[in-house]
Structure 1
Amino acid sequence: MSESQAETAVEILSARDVPLGGPRAMTVRRTLPQRNRSLIGAWCFADHYGPDDVSDTGGMDVAPHPHTGLQTVSWLFSGEIEHRDSLGTHAYVRPGELNLMTGGHGISHSEVSTERTTVLHGVQLWVVLPERDRDTAPAFQHYVPEPVALGGGVARVFLGSLAGATSPVATFTPLLGAELALDPGATVTLAVDPAHEHGLLVDSGDVEMAGTRLSPADLGYLAPGGDTLTLTNHADAPARAVLLGGPPFEERIIMWWNFIGRTQEDIEQARSDWMTGTRFGEVEGYGGDALPAPELPRVPLKSRGNTH
């Protein structure tokens, strides 16, 4: 453990249960945003779900809905999700394969677990776009990272660089995103960018991050400063986690429903455009109605910063 890392306490962010997807809602565990921490780098949203037996839960069925000012990052551990969007993209999210969708000026999409899915398990993440790029054209990228041996585990680097692997996927701020599998009892020390803050979302195992024990569904936060990150799996079974990172995002944002803007007017306009059928296009092939936007609160929406 580096001296700078040893002097920096890990902040544990606990998950809360949230229904996702309107009337056919599935329950997810949300660790970002929180009252005391809205972002880790440009990562602004983290949902963790499963393992769910879809014969009991019904799986995922999220009707067409819009996004602005962000990128969605879909990553599965098991199962399969069918993605359709207003660009005409028809793709599948599968374990170990990254689907990244850029909302930018405006996009809509649907997400439905397939009939081939028996157990659905994964994460859904959002990345806020910086002011200069938040109205960029919508886009879709797919990438399958090669596993990288860690000497006590395996990494799959889907964004940024780690352990000698670099993802070719384009982002608008420097980011790190990687699935880490740790062997039973293993300790792994990773070289990381000291300018980045990091978050470790634990899926399974008894994982220690920089000297702090984390439980499944916890998100451990570590401030910038250290050039290494030491992880230990204290369990007698394999552990799995998702490591997120990036330089602190200094802009203030407003997040409401599926939109990210900078002002109340940005959000009001996006909502109006969705409800009137403009700007976001149409999702073909879903076989159901789109999600209506909820009513805006009567009080002004509050902006969020990097630490509150």
Structure 2
Amino acid sequence: MSTRWGMTVPLAGIPLSEHAEVYRTLADAGFTDLWTSEVAGSDAFTPLTLAAAWTPGLRLGTAVAPVFTRGPGLLAMTAAALAETAPGRFQLGIGASSPVVVGDWNAAEFTEPFQRSRDMLRFLRPALAGELVDRQFETFSVRRFRLERPPSVPPQVLLAALRPGMLRLAAAEADGVILNWLSAKDVHTALAEVKTDKPDFDVAARIFVCPTDDAEHARRLGRRMIAAYLTVPAYAAFHRWLGREEVLTPMWQAWSSGDRKGALAAIPDKVVDELTVHGSPAECRARVEAYVKAGVTVPAMALLPTPTLDSGDTPAILELLAALGRS
């Protein structure tokens, strides 16, 4: 079994101010890691800062902090503050994000995502080590920046990657790679591009989990998620590369014509079952372990809504979280 076992936080339906009990439950259940995303809910850093204070034994990670929505200095300062709060327990995951998050919601230009990710990675490594950075990068320039409070233990920097170019960049220059929206079988394809002999190189993966025996409910949610994400150009190209062009083309065609219902209906159960984990807590744990056997070192569950998770019944939610753990 993996020595690490992660959960994406915060959970929907429970106020962030009440997550101390959530974090304690996860720690008691054998979870080792808390991971955050940054889309349109909580930012990536606040839930982890609270966790650092409330549950000092857990490891923390962002998956991901977008490379376009903060300037280089601000991203370094934010990461350094969390690394100082949780020495040796924080990993900074960065990634390009998407045109909607970057452009439509944050008024930034989403241009040259590979180059921007590479440049931010090359800036962050020396900056978080407390070095003076004075350099013209391809996509931005930094003049004489040095952290006033460099962390005693600089955080490892992981890079979110889908296709070969970014996967190879992660292997060459990052401390790990973050995978997303792939099946356990797809992990082998992705990792074939990640050739590195770094002994502590981590392979993190966000795995969408719907812990319910109601397969119809889980597949309905899975279809909505797949249609929303895999129609984004970067994810569409990713799944073409993974070999799903034929099976997903009917969805893409319906979506591009404005037929949203038709797009959902065109997604086969087999694809939903490959890309989302559902079933009893024990079945979900086994499915997540399949990712570990394929090469993932940091599996991070991202829970999809179920009647229990949407109930507002905190004791029942905590019981479900405990059942997904390994203790």
Place the TM-score, normalised by the shorter chain, in its bin. under 0.3
Structure (1/2) with the larger strand percentage: 1
Using structure 1 for the length normalisation, give the TM-score. Answer: 0.27
Structure (1/2) with the larger helix percentage: 2
Using structure 2 for the length normalisation, give the TM-score. Answer: 0.26
